[in-house]
Structure 1
Amino acid sequence: MKVLQLIDSLEVGGAERVAVNIANALAAKIEGSYLCVTRVEGLLKGSINESVNFLFLNKKSTFDLKSILKFNAYVKKEEIDIIHAHSSSFFLATIIRILNSNVKIVWHDHYGNSAFLENRKFRVLKVCSSYFNHIFSVNKQLEQWAKVHLKSKNVNYLPNFSVINNELSETNLHGDEGKRIICLANLREQKDHLTLLKAFQLVVENHNDWSLHLVGKDFNDSYSEAIKSFIINNKLEKHVFIYGSKPDTYHILTQSNIGVLSSKSEGLPLALLEYGLAKLPVIATRVGECSEVIRDTDNGLLVSPENFKELSKAIIQYIENKDLRDKYALSYTFHIQNNYSETAQVRAILKVYNNIYN
């Protein structure tokens, strides 16, 4: 069996990391594991296992005929059996399926605004879904949505999984050692960094030796500017640091002491799994599958979305109680290792592949 992961970019994001993780994990388990990037290469290219077959299309538009023909020729030459398309790459996968009736399609829905599904535009997706052999959804809300709105009959929730890559160590965090809060999230509005900044502003009133570190792609848009303006206007430059995308995620997390996500909407955020693998105590909002991953006041803390006062109290609770941090971090790490491991999720993926293949 030969399976190709199809993704638009290799920028550091949740869907992109999942595509790379799956391609790497499959390399030793099937005849051929492939990864095709359609539009933009990025930092994650360095994370691809050398045994994964890699193709970059450099696609310039939706109907870039040259790229479509190049990809179609590659699929035929390599005799690809299954295209596992992530996010918006479903459209190209559908074109290839129309040109090659023997190719099967698995679509992986990583839609991050699952709390606002009523605003999702899906007319093209619905048409294409009649060609999908299976759909993986990153949370249960998306699973139910796909069953109601799309044409594929085979849909299931597939939790993300993360892996530790401790080979890279190039980023050194600012601030005092032992007093760092990390937020691993691209600077997108759904991640709601502004609520986190408002919460942290209250934190530094009594704990000004602590620092906040924002790691994730900076799109240099109006949202990014709002974050930077808030930091400057509230004189937080010595306490809050923005790093952009970084390839050495695990190294960054090992320098951190509390992991936070303040999102308005989520699927199953990969950052939460990575916090667990790095043995961090966690705080997240009750959105998406966060409350499935974190058991409030048992292995972490959950707060309401867009509530900076509640978030600040949770952070302060951790800062002022190291024993609680250590207790929750230990319990959370055990939970992640046992329920969101590579082994369990790859086994579920292979079961679907084999059903399609046979």
Structure 2
Amino acid sequence: MTDMLPNPLEKQPPAPFSILHTEWSDGWGGQERRILSEMTGMAERGHRLILATRRQAKLAAQARKCGIETIDLPFSGKFDLRSILPLSRLIRRERIDIVNTHSGIDSWVGAFAARLGGAHLVRTRHLNLPLHRHWYNFVHFMAQRVVSCGETMRRNLIDNCGFPEAQVVSIPTGIDFETFVAQRTRAETRRDLGVDDAAFVILMVGIIRSVKRHEVALRAFARFHASTPQAVLLLAGDGPMRGDMERLAQDLGLAGTVRFLGYREDVPDLFAAADCALLTSRSEGVPQAVTQGLGCGLPTIATRVGGVPELIEDGKTGLLVAPEDTEAIAAGLSRFAADPDFAHRLGAAGRAHVHRHFSRAAMLEATERLYAEICGRALPPHGRRGS
């Protein structure tokens, strides 16, 4: 009996992609979480993933825990040859198809390395801030595609920053709603937090830094708390302004009703224990904390910035307020507290909206289609699976 040999004339299925992500950031926020979710999701679909980042980056440790091959580079500047040359050699040696960059310095290093190594280049833009194409920012001409995390960000890059429409594609950050679920009951989490069952609990999730405007949240909560003394504000997250915000809470007389929880791994449990979610940022892309809260069915009040209106239609899937408007935020909180049926309707509508349009599977499928288009080949069969 002879062994069956592959027929060279028979069309072979397309091979998986080899993808290299680069990230300069040392932090651990929505941007880094999206990168990790995308990498692990693409690996689950059979693609090969490598991450190049700095040794001290929190993303590096998280990626290694998830089995992602990770290399450490200094990324010490735009023209850092100690990073560019090793990266270009890795691209050639490992036959990388796509280099996907994410932050400022690594986008320069990754662009040069991709050009030297012969790989396609994609830049993901996570922030809704200006990114102008100009001769002194020639790196923005080098990427075949720029991925924005929402349509509002995409239009900003095209209309206000000079990017050609064909270069920019919107792929919103997707949440794996099948795994982002509470592991404890509402009562259990409240008991662990020392929060009374009858309390009206507001949850804000995010790094405590200036752009998130925790000061606005605290001042709005002070207004609301004056008429609803059983209310509690939970702030999940850490950051450079935590000390300042703790002092402000003390000055506002809120020390006993504002809880600074620090970094938490049990965010789904916190959402389940809360009555509503809050975002007071002055700038955002498409914030994962809002997507997650809505995905858990939590009524949400958020500032009308960046891609937030893609998640929330005011009065239908949540409440939108102007940035810095403490009075409007307090009024929204009062409305939720006084009318639980209204809050529940908005929470249910928000959940349906984000489950339909902002799932992890949708993000991965759109990413695979983009890579296939850039590489000029069909999707591998395993790349068509759900997630």
TM-score over 0.5 for the alignment?
yes
TM-score range, shorter chain: 0.7 to 0.9
Distance change (3 Å), C-alpha of 1:51 and 1:167: farther
| Residue 347 of structure 2 corresponds to residue 329 of structure 1 | yes
One of 163, 169, 193 as aligned partner of 1:156? 169
Question: Corresponding residue for 1:90?
Answer: 107
Q: Distance in 1 between matches of 2:143 and 2:264?
A: 34
Contact residue 91 and residue 114 of structure 2 kept, 8 A = no
Question: Corresponding residue for 1:288?
Answer: 306
One of 114, 132, 143 as aligned partner of 1:132? 143
Q: Distance in 1 between matches of 2:277 and 2:29?
A: 17
Matches within 5 A, 1:243-282: 243-282=261-300
Question: Corresponding residue for 2:14?
Answer: none
Question: Corresponding residue for 2:8?
Answer: none
Long gaps (5+) in structure 1 = none
Q: Distance in 2 between matches of 1:350 and 1:173?
A: 41
Q: Note the alpha carbon deviations across 1:285-317, whole angstroms, 9 max, x for none.
A: 111121221121112111121110110010111
**Matched letter for residue 205 of structure 1:** A
- SS class of match (2:208): coil
**Matched letter for residue 175 of structure 2:** S
Distance change (3 Å), C-alpha of 1:252 and 1:78: farther
Question: Corresponding residue for 2:11?
Answer: none
Q: Distance in 2 between matches of 1:343 and 1:291?
A: 22
Q: Note the alpha carbon deviations across 1:234-269, whole angstroms, 9 max, x for none.
A: 121111122333333323323322111011121111
Distance change (3 Å), C-alpha of 1:337 and 1:151: closer
Determine what percentage of the aligned residue pairs are the same residue.
Answer: 22
| Residue 110 of structure 2 corresponds to residue 99 of structure 1 | no
Contact residue 304 and residue 321 of structure 2 kept, 8 A = yes
| Residue 251 of structure 2 corresponds to residue 240 of structure 1 | no
- SS class of match (2:44): coil
Q: C-alpha root-mean-square deviation of aligned residues, in Å?
A: 2.7
Tell me the matched-pair count.
Answer: 348
**Which has more radius of gyration?**
2
Return the offset for 1:77. 2.9
Matches within 5 A, 1:1-358: 1-9=17-25, 11-38=27-54, 40-42=56-58, 45-46=61-62, 50-88=66-104, 89-100=106-117, 102-112=118-128, 114=129, 117=130, 126-147=137-158, 148-150=161-163, 153-163=166-176, 164-165=179-180, 173-177=193-197, 179-220=200-241, 224-358=242-376
Contact residue 297 and residue 351 of structure 2 kept, 8 A = yes
Return the offset for 1:96. 0.6
- SS class of match (2:50): strand
Q: Distance in 2 between matches of 1:108 and 1:161?
A: 14
**Matched letter for residue 137 of structure 2:** K
**Matched letter for residue 170 of structure 2:** Y
Q: Note the alpha carbon deviations across 1:14-39, whole angstroms, 9 max, x for none.
A: 21111111111111224312333236
Q: TM-score, normalised by structure 1?
A: 0.87
Q: Distance in 2 between matches of 1:4 and 1:82?
A: 6
Contact residue 87 and residue 111 of structure 1 kept, 8 A = no
Q: TM-score, normalised by structure 2?
A: 0.81
Distance change (3 Å), C-alpha of 1:126 and 1:64: closer
Q: Distance in 2 between matches of 1:185 and 1:136?
A: 23
Long gaps (5+) in structure 2 = 1-16, 377-387
Distance change (3 Å), C-alpha of 1:249 and 1:79: farther
Q: Distance in 2 between matches of 1:187 and 1:8?
A: 20
Contact residue 11 and residue 40 of structure 1 kept, 8 A = no
Return the offset for 1:158. 2.0
**Matched letter for residue 210 of structure 1:** A
